[in-house]
Structure 1
């Protein structure tokens, strides 16, 4: 289950990520709460902040993927992580000094989004260099486990800190947490990395990556599902603050608890994913997406705060199973020289839908209540899986009929026309 942890470089990476990601989740909770405080509880303002943070993904993640295939991933990660830490430091100083405005939060959300758009595809494609091809699936699952363990600790700590000392100190704590991941990257043994040959700089490399994906129908199916499910389904977590505050009249601690319960389910899902061996199948991607959609609808219809929190646990299991299976499927099905560009496209679709989904779900919650994003997200997720599955089945059926026709005609092309 923990095979990747036998690799020294991966242990350094995972240890640094635990510290840094806990701080990142603390900041997400504090940032949402700060935006709601500065905007007097506006769901639209919350959606705008999310859109500003994720819009750069639409513009930069593909180029981040190109860079991932060209440059030293470890050095680039160090530079980007330092920049993200400085963004947290700036927001924390503005907040604790009492001069922070909603416009300043929006600006820092956009800057953080720019650095994140470059960081994510490099970080995703760096996994194979840490552990080698044989352990990629296990490492992806353990990364998800690390991410969600941090998501349990981070929101809980943030909720207590917000009540006790305010949101500003949460941002400063996140700035300090980046020391962990940068230190881990600096201590790595470069000779122990499973590096692919860097792709020489040349024109048209981005188009080359897109053509590569276009020729892989099952890869396209996974990417389409990732876009639709993440845009309309997975983005529901951004409206949990509205569920806690506007639906049930609770405070920051209650919001942190909802996020923590979702993360508990995600940890269970990551643990199950790490125990699975072999290459994940497209059937697992589609099946887990379908189950996630159904469970999300159920969570949105729960009548009480306690019931909603409990319902988020299986939602977390399903969403983590979906994202881990999709990520591993993409990483293991592409050529190493294309992995950075394909993962850049993957992260564009996974995170880039937030500028669309975030404001849409925020406006939906403003007009129809905090439950609406969960119910609508679940319905769209179920419909997406069914439609993409039907298209794939039809394509496969057509391919089989063509193959049968070719054999019956003795392989003569002229008799098929």
Structure 2
């Protein structure tokens, strides 16, 4: 009997994932409302865009410094209590922001302190959140769940910023922060309402000293993982940070001003939703898909620097945004699925550290290129760099795959035992370009 083909929304068949996706939408909406409110509050107090950028650095820095510790905790501790504790901590920080805004405090330092504390919480609980997301669906549906998660993330971002824009004149920044405070309790309620018997528990790591060093050694001694993380770093630095290049293009060559930048941001958000839908429709997210999408997106980025007007540039941004989501979802899926369960949290932490580092480096680099050579040149240099690194990655992964096959052939001259029983293939944890 032919099997029924997987559906785009197959992860939603699971009760726990439906609760998780709904709570995630509410939480992300509140988060983006708070992001807009914090940025506007800092800008109102200081009149400096640099101050806004500094708050973003304060949030990202703990991930670079503490991310692997968070991964080690995630691999050892039950994820459910960690997630609930983190939601309570984040709700407390949002309430502090609301108190600061409603009290009319004119000091910027408490806001920086909250940003830093929020970064610490995110660094320590982010890997546990990733492991928890993998436990609410069976392994075969994890890529689809992650793709649907990217749709939820994009929808929450659009909804959150739209609601913040509508509510801000009436509630002020404090009202936005109070709304976000409430959203964390929605997540807690959803987690508590999940069915324990439907969780797909991952194997936990043993409690022993040196867990952080062990995680770093695993990453450094896993060639395919290093190659994929290196590709992710380049694509996430010079091939991302489109908020910088779109703003520079809008203010410079396109002469479109703030209205044009708003239009480009909307088009980009729509593109991310399209990318999530395309990723969810795929039965598998493979390394080949990653490489092809990264190559095409890099070419489009280089070509976008040649676009003569706002409409054509916006047209280029749409598939670029879709490609960015497919790339991010595929990297996250492969990194998780192809790593041992007991190392999952630390691998997720490594990916988070790469993302934080890429964002921290890419924004200033693209900004400097835009100021020095012009935004068109910045896009072209970034696109060509992404294409070159993608080709190098394809060569590296092909060689690693070939080496694994040769080693397996040397160890096992036959794939069957004398009685005809198939043997397990060596190198099963080494993903191939075609069927990973």
What TM bracket, shorter-length normalisation?
0.7 to 0.9
The equivalent of 1:292 in structure 2 is 297
Of 152, 156, 160, which residue of structure 1 is paired with 2:158? 152
State the Cα distance separating 1:145 from its structure 2 match.
1.5
Structure 2 gap ranges (5+)? 1-7, 412-436
Structure 1 contact 273–324 (Cα < 8 Å) conserved = yes
**1:125–1:340 Cα contact (<8 Å) kept:** yes
**Which has the higher mean CA deviation after the structures are superposed, 197-206 or 301-310?**
301-310
1:313 matched to 2:321: no
Change (3 A) 1:232 1:122: farther
Match of 2:349 in 1: 344
The reply on whether 1:125 has 2:134 as its aligned counterpart is no
State how far apart, in whole Å, the 2-side matches of 1:191 and 1:82 are. 25
Indicate the RMSD between aligned Cα atoms, in angstroms.
3.2
1:83-162 aligned at under 5 Å gives the runs: 83-162=89-168
The answer to whether the 8 A contact 1:153-1:260 is kept is no
Structure-2-length-normalised TM-score: 0.81
* 1:300 Cα deviation from its structure 2 partner: 5.2
Q: CA deviation at 1:304?
A: 5.0
Alignment of 1:58-97 (within 5 A): 58-97=64-103
Q: Partner of 2:112: helix, strand, or coil? A: helix
**Could you tell which deviates more after superposition, 129-138 or 189-198?**
189-198
Equivalent pair of 2:68/2:215 in contact (CA under 8 Å) = no
For normalisation by structure 1, the TM-score amounts to: 0.84
> Separation in 2 of the partners of 1:405 and 1:275?
39
Deviations, residues 266-297 of structure 1 (Å, cap 9, x unaligned): 1111111111113x222211221222233334
CA distance, structure 1, for counterparts of residue 408 and residue 139 of structure 2: 33
The answer (yes or no) to whether the contact 2:224–2:400 under 8 Å persists in 1 is: no
For residue 223 of structure 1, the aligned residue among 223, 229, 234 is: 229
What is aligned with 1:387?
Answer: 392
Contact 1:296 1:374 in 2 (8 A): yes
- Relative to 1, partners in 2 of residues 1:157 and 1:344: Cα closer, same or farther, differing over 3 Å? same
Aligned to 1:354: 359
Q: Is contact 1:213–1:220 with CA below 8 Å preserved after alignment?
A: yes
In structure 2, relative to structure 1, the CA distance for the partners of 1:221 and 1:263 (3 Å cut) is: same
**Which SS does the other structure have where 2:123 is aligned?**
helix
1:259 maps to 265
- Structure 1: runs of 5 or more not aligned: 407-417
Quote the offset at 1:89 in angstroms. 2.5
**Separation in structure 1 between the aligned mates of residue 161 and residue 378 of structure 2, nearest angstrom:** 21
CA deviation profile, 1:187-215 (whole Å, cap 9, x unmatched): 12223211123222101222322333334
| 8 A Cα contact 2:37 2:173, kept in partner | yes
Note closer, same or farther for the CA distance 1:241–1:98 as it changes in structure 2 (3 Å cut): farther
Q: Decide whether aligned partners of structure 1 residues 150 and 310 sit closer, same or farther in structure 2, where only a CA change above 3 A counts.
A: farther
> Which gives a bigger RCO, structure 1 or 2 (Cα 8 Å, sep 6+)?
1
Query: CA 1:176/1:379 → structure 2, altered by over 3 Å: closer, same or farther?
Result: farther
Give the number of aligned pairs. Answer: 403
Q: Which moved more, 1:233-242 or 1:166-175?
A: 233-242
The structure-2 alpha-carbon separation of the partners of 1:150 and 1:403, relative to structure 1 and needing over 3 Å to count, comes to: closer
Confirm or deny: 8 A CA contact 1:29 1:256 kept in the other structure.
Answer: no
- Which of 242, 245, 250 aligns to 2:258? It is 250
- Rounded Cα–Cα distance in structure 2 between residues aligned with 1:376 and 1:87: 40
Find the counterpart in structure 1 of residue 430 from structure 2.
none
Please give the per-residue CA displacement for 1:215-246, whole angstroms capped at 9, x wherever unaligned.
43222211111122113322333676676678
Corresponding residue SS for 2:136: helix
Q: Which residue of 2 aligns with 1:332?
A: 337
Deviation, 1:21, is 0.5
Higher share of residues assigned helix: 1
Q: Which deviates further from its counterpart, 215-224 or 30-39?
A: 30-39
Aligned-pair distance for 1:18?
0.6
Q: Does 1:281 align with 2:286?
A: yes
